[in-house]
Chain A
Amino acid sequence: MSHQESLWQPSASIENLRLRAETLKQVRDFFTECGVLEVQTPMLGRAGSTDVYLNSMQSYCAGGGVSEPLNLYLQTSPEFHMKRLLAAGSGAIWQLATSFRNGEYSERHNPEFAMLEWYQPNYDLNDLMAEVQSLVEEVLGVNTFSCISYRALFNQNLNIDPFSAPLVELQRLATKNTGICGETLDRDGCCDLLMSACLEPLLGQNELSFVTNYPASQAALAKLKQDEAGDWVAARFECYYQGIELANGYHELTDAKEQAKRFAEDNQQRRSLDLPEVTADQHLVAALESGMPECAGVALGFDRLLMLKAEAKHLSEVISFAIDRA
């Protein structure tokens, strides 16, 4: 049978789809027990993520009862809508949201994927990391974990301080380790590359591994704080298991003005990089203005969690129909 002829078949085995259903039940039970409310928010929104390194897919709604045609973004995560629920007084919420990121396709990416996202009012990052740990323990049976700062991770493995090292040294290291033309990269670019090429593969070999205190420039929607060296860092963590990035958590930004500023800065950077600007979410800014509770939130790649559980090599092995056969 040729490849073309077999493309009607699912990319996941029926056994893995069964595992998927069982895991979803485990997750649902976990949150029910914690008293976290399950919600469903739109996959299409008038606004999208302005994040410079996320590409949104777009859709269009018109005709019938829609008098004004709408340009809609397929959401890259349910974050904005969920934060509006928090501001409206929902309390702790979770959902498994189908999310879309244009062009992201690899062994570990599918442009359409399942994001497990939840928010806990009055949690700090430590509370949330503990909760991620319990959930992963429940699903994967991993019961050890470690935590390291972004700075210490670079120091211990590459013998360089990502905050204070001269840019040329980071560029030299990136060139040496990956064969890239390093001088074309800025500080974040070098760090991103070293992270993905040299550091991520080392993380979470035997335990669930958390990385914290990212550079402030990589804050996205997290609060900023000063670390013990006096540098501004993002109150953010990433969680890895067996070299795979599994989750990304924030102590959430609640300041409406700062949020509006970050949207504007993102779009300014988009313009300078010749990337399309994205309609910023004014509803989110208004929700923050009205007052969103202090909270921590995390987005966990549900497909990746399954990939680890099923010991699969490719994300498509746990998705019924990956993009090449959708």
Chain B
Amino acid sequence: MANYSTNEFKSGLKVMLEGDPCSILENEYVKPGKGQAFSRVKLRNLNTGRVWERTFKSGESLEGADVMEYDMEYLYTDGEFWHFMLTDGSFEQHAADEKALGDTVKWLKEQEIYTVTLFNGAPISVAPPNFIVLEVTETDPGLKGDTAQGGSKPAILTTGAMVRVPLFVNIGDNLKVDTRSGDYVSRA
């Protein structure tokens, strides 16, 4: 695998640290007064999910992790595993456990395409698309004519996710949601 220097560190980069594959969450450049620069890095250990904080000298490097990301379609869950299928026409399937799925479980929708990360051939994480359209199953009744800004209310979506929505939204509406922030974007 390639080596990555601190100035190539960015959120999402996969590197090996102490034998575990890690994903860089944050890379903060620090430089005291006249002295040398350092990178203060937050990494998520992809095996344990734990967040590590480490400091590196500017210019130091880490080995890239042999972690591959694939587009996969979500098929179904058997209660223990969530099954995904590669979209490259191979019909190859992979089963992700609860740990690999993490918070993505609240954005899971059949036939939607997810980014599944494989380490040693097994899913270790599943990332949702940035935007997803989901139906509202529960919310207070909509206020007619209130299409301008001002005021919001909670709404529960088919996946169980809760988002703040404008007052005019009704049960049965399809909403476009930003999965990174969990924010309502628009009616779909």
Contact = CB atoms under 8 A, between A and B. Distances in A.
A binds B: yes
Interface of A: 51-53, 103-107, 109, 178-180, 184-185, 188-189, 191-193, 195-197, 200, 218, 220, 238, 245, 248
Given A53-B37, A103-B7, A192 B56 contact: no
B36 interface: yes
B55 A179 contact: yes
A77 B32 CA distance: 17
Contact of A180 (B29, B52, B54): B54
Given A105-B29, A107-B28, A248 B54 contact: no
A106 B30 contact: yes
A245 B38 contact: no
Contacts of A188: 35-36
B33 interface: yes
Contacts of B36: 52-53, 188-189, 192
Contacts of A248: 33-34
B29 to A, nearest CB: 4
Contact of B31 (A109, A178, A185): A109
Interface string B43-60: 000000000111111001
Interface in B77-100: none
B34 A53 contact: yes
B52 A192 contact: no
A189 B57 contact: yes
Nearest to A274: B59
Which among B7, B28, B32, B57 has the greatest number of chain A C-beta atoms within 10 A?
B32
A106 to B, nearest CB: 4
B28 A106 contact: yes
Nearest to A174: B55
Q: Is the interface of B mostly helix, strand, loop or mixed?
A: strand
Contact of A185 (B33, B52, B57): B57
Say which size band chain B's interface belongs to.
20 to 34
Q: Which residue, B29, B31, B34, B53, has most C-beta atoms of chain A within 10 A?
A: B34
Interface of B: 7, 28-38, 40, 52-57, 60
A218 B33 CA distance: 10
A272 to B, nearest CB: 14
Contacts of B56: 180
A178 B55 CA distance: 6
13 contacts: A52-B36, A53-B35, A53-B36, A103-B37, A106-B28, A106-B31, A179-B54, A180-B57, A185-B57, A189-B35, A196-B32, A245-B32, A248-B34
9 closest A-B pairs by beta carbon, nearest first, are A192-B35, A196-B32, A178-B55, A106-B29, A180-B55, A179-B54, A195-B32, A53-B36, A192-B32
A195 B33 contact: yes
A109 B35 contact: no
A179 B53 contact: yes
A245 B40 CA distance: 17
A195 B54 contact: no
Given A191-B35, A192-B33, A196-B32, 18 more contacts: A52-B36, A53-B31, A104-B37, A106-B28, A109-B29, A178-B54, A179-B52, A180-B55, A180-B57, A184-B60, A192-B35, A193-B32, A195-B32, A196-B35, A197-B40, A220-B34, A238-B33, A248-B33
Contacts of B29: 103-106, 109
A318 to B, nearest CB: 18
A289 to B, nearest CB: 25
